[in-house]
Chain A
Amino acid sequence: MPELEIPAGERNMVLNMGPQHPSTHGVLRLVLELDGETIVRCTPDIGYLHTGIEKTCEDKTYHQAITLTDRIDYLCPLTNNLCYVLAVEKLLGLEPPPRAQWVRVMLNELSRIASHLVWLGTHAIDIGAMSVFLYCFREREEILKLFEMVAGQRMMTSYFRVGGLALEPPADFLKRVQKFLQIFPGRIEEYENLLTRNRIWIGRTKGIGYLSAADALDLGVSGPSARASGIDWDLRRDNPYSSYDKFSFAVPVRQEGDVYARYLVRVDEMRESVKIVQQAVEGLPEGPVQATARGVVLPPREKMKTEMEALIYHFKIVTEGFRVPPGEVYQAIESPRGEMGYYVVSDGTSHPYRVKVRSPSFANLQALPRIAEGRLLADMIACIGSIDIVLGEIDR
């Protein structure tokens, strides 16, 4: 990025915030031009967490690439898995069985809760409410344990497969989820008790970082940040995927467009997610967790021992991967941060020709200068927290 040149005689101070800074949520660098403590100009500088995941995907088979998607948005790995897997399934024309879809929805909403918990915790600690951070992480820990149960990993889950799930969830998984659902709404109350009607919290967030609906549309802001500005758009409801149309839930929308509205929208979203998980647990259909697609989905273990054909398919899928018909597809889902899209191009081989990720954080970050300029340095912290960015997703 070009260096900021300050003309002689200008009295503004240039402050380099980040990439190592306690509240830039990773390695975001902001070049701030300050007049006293007022931000005159804010220039985000990204690229410090560039991992080359998109490029690396081209060198992997379709299945291997799933493990890379975990690392893009590390606060909701399962959402990334789902989006990528849905895109590949679209290319293959494959429909996973209902049980797999239900479990996917359940885990996705748990990811949303976990991600919002990290957001709430870090946002609160940025503004100085220290205990909320630890309370949030206590509940997130429970969700990570649930992930560990199904996937064997807390964060890099890679649990979804093209055509369904990797494994049937363990026997007492649903019981653990139920238990979590019972305690969690009370815990949301606890966070709200500490924050929602707290005068200092309201003073720090209400009327701060205003983003109008028009600006939100212009800058490509999506997700809770856009819904807090009055844009009633949620892909789960408006462009359903993975049987979201079979669940009933509300989409919280607010008109104020400030940091406080974004806070309230996300807190309400956690409540709605609890409802969705509840429905998924109660209405979980019986049946297989993987589609029957010869040559794409690995054959069952028993068949491999008895059928020659199954063994051959197993060998072929593991060593070479499955071939995907040529074409290109864009699959968008509602991640905790907004519209997450995977654009996958296939040239007919077993490796994707191109995987492009439309990450919500990248677009949402564009709004930061708009909402923070002209405000105080302390508001900057509240603003960064309120748009809920994940740097891994921005740089990919």
Chain B
Amino acid sequence: MSPLMVLFALAKIVVILLVLLTVVAYAVWFERKLLAHMQCRWGPTRVGPHGLLQPLADAIKLLTKEDLTPSEVFPLVYLLAPFLSLVTALLAFAVIPFGPETRVGGMDLFQIADLDIGVLFILSVSSMGVYGIALAGWSSNSKYSLLGGLRSSAQMISYELAIGLSIIGVLLLTGSLSLRAIVENQAGAYWGFLPRWNIIPQFAGFVCFLVAAIAETNRLPFDLPEAETELVAGYHTEYSSMKFGMFFMAEYANMVTASCLATLLFFGGWHGPVFGPAILQALLPLLWFSLKVLFFLFLYVWIRATLPRFRYDQLMAFGWKFLVPLALGNLVVTSLVLAIRWS
């Protein structure tokens, strides 16, 4: 690897990170605005037109707020937990491809690293995220935090299983763990009009994945670890200032990751109608990808506006008694169909 390429890779990381952080900040704005309109309110309107500068104001507020550390916390773990949350949330983007392979000087433009085991990497990194939450709950020296941390450990571990199982169907269809290969496999259309997206053969897997992903990102109706009305704020009750901000960013980054993953695995990634001049042809895939991700973010907000919260034991029962069997059943059926087709 020449120094130039290292420099190029670094620049790519910085750009993608900046874009990602902006997306995360505006995901918050998007949610607040959308939720507000669903609830007959206006949402942020004061800072900038349509409250568009609100994320900036929030960032300044969070950065300049007093940073309190409660007495008798476990200092090292207490400080480490938010970093762990955010870093694992951001790390997943290392393998997410945003567009088709576009090589400039031998380097791929739309992906940081095309790992052969991209799916496994994301799964493993996202399961690391539970450490951030569990350790925050445990080290905070607060009972509410502890309960939140306990809940989330159990919840995230259970639903990780469902996520993993629901993805296997897709992996079987593709025969690869590389996200790029999975997307390439979804190109084209059945009978000329129906896109060959994985959602069609893998609908049960998709439903399972979507539900488990919402649970994995701790969003309503599965936001038990921070169930505001029960546990005040759950695992991040005792965190203030930017330390809280990191948990907050991690939550939205995880939402974006989950949306990206759903798009890549089931919604055909960047595939969509491509037409027009060369420059448009290069940019359209990015647009389709963004729109699909936006759709999932919208879904997140929509669900939040509509549904009440599960109870802890109901959540576990739902995960183990419904989602896991559904994913397993889907896996068995997919394997059978594939076995028959190959034989």
Contacting residues of chain A (18-42) with chain B, CB-CB under 8 angstroms:
21-23, 37
* A312 within 8 Å of B (CB atoms): no
Annotate A124-164 by CB proximity to B: 1 below 8 A, 0 otherwise: 11111111001100100000000000000000000000000
Complex interface: chain A residues within 8 A of B229 (CB): 22-23, 125-128, 381
A376, B41: Cβ atoms closer than 8 Å:
no
B230, A23: Cβ atoms closer than 8 Å:
yes
A270 → chain B closest CB, angstroms: 19
- Give the size category of B's interface with A: 20 to 34
B233 → chain A closest CB, angstroms: 9
Residue on A nearest B40 in the bound complex, by CB: A138
In the assembled complex, the Cα of A194 lies from the Cα of B144 at a distance in Å of 29
A130, B39: Cβ atoms closer than 8 Å:
yes
* B310 within 8 Å of A (CB atoms): yes
Most buried by A among B307, B311, B312: B311
B223, A128: Cβ atoms closer than 8 Å:
yes
* B227 within 8 Å of A (CB atoms): yes
In the assembled complex, the Cα of A376 lies from the Cα of B312 at a distance in Å of 9
In the assembled complex, the Cα of A277 lies from the Cα of B183 at a distance in Å of 61
Also in contact, A381 and B39, with CB within 8 A (given A127-B308, A128-B309, A376-B313) = no
* A178 within 8 Å of B (CB atoms): no
* B299 within 8 Å of A (CB atoms): no
Secondary structure call for the A interface: helix
Also in contact, A378 and B304, with CB within 8 A (given A131-B38, A134-B39, A200-B309) = no
Annotate B305-341 by CB proximity to A: 1 below 8 A, 0 otherwise: 1111111111000000000000000000000000000
Instruction: Select one of A126, A198, A377 contacting B147, CB under 8 A.
Output: A377
* A7 within 8 Å of B (CB atoms): no
In the assembled complex, the Cα of A157 lies from the Cα of B119 at a distance in Å of 62
A135, B230: Cβ atoms closer than 8 Å:
no
In the assembled complex, the Cα of A124 lies from the Cα of B147 at a distance in Å of 22
A135, B310: Cβ atoms closer than 8 Å:
no
* B143 within 8 Å of A (CB atoms): yes
B230, A377: Cβ atoms closer than 8 Å:
yes
Also in contact, A378 and B227, with CB within 8 A (given A128-B221, A200-B221) = yes
Complex interface: chain B residues within 8 A of A377 (CB): 147, 230
A335 → chain B closest CB, angstroms: 25
A15, B143: Cβ atoms closer than 8 Å:
yes
Also in contact, A200 and B310, with CB within 8 A (given A125-B229, A134-B39) = yes
Instruction: Select one of A131, A138, A203 contacting B314, CB under 8 A.
Output: A203
* A339 within 8 Å of B (CB atoms): no
A128, B39: Cβ atoms closer than 8 Å:
no
Complex interface: chain A residues within 8 A of B41 (CB): 134
Contacting residues of chain B (265-285) with chain A, CB-CB under 8 angstroms:
none
* B56 within 8 Å of A (CB atoms): no
Given contacts A130-B220, A381-B230, 7 further A-B contacts (CB under 8 A): A131-B39, A134-B39, A195-B308, A198-B308, A200-B307, A203-B314, A204-B310
- Report which B residues bind A (CB closer than 8 A): 35, 38-41, 143-144, 147, 220-221, 223-224, 227-230, 232, 304-314
A-B residue pairs in contact (CB < 8 Å), sample of 7? A23-B230, A127-B229, A129-B307, A130-B39, A134-B41, A198-B307, A204-B308
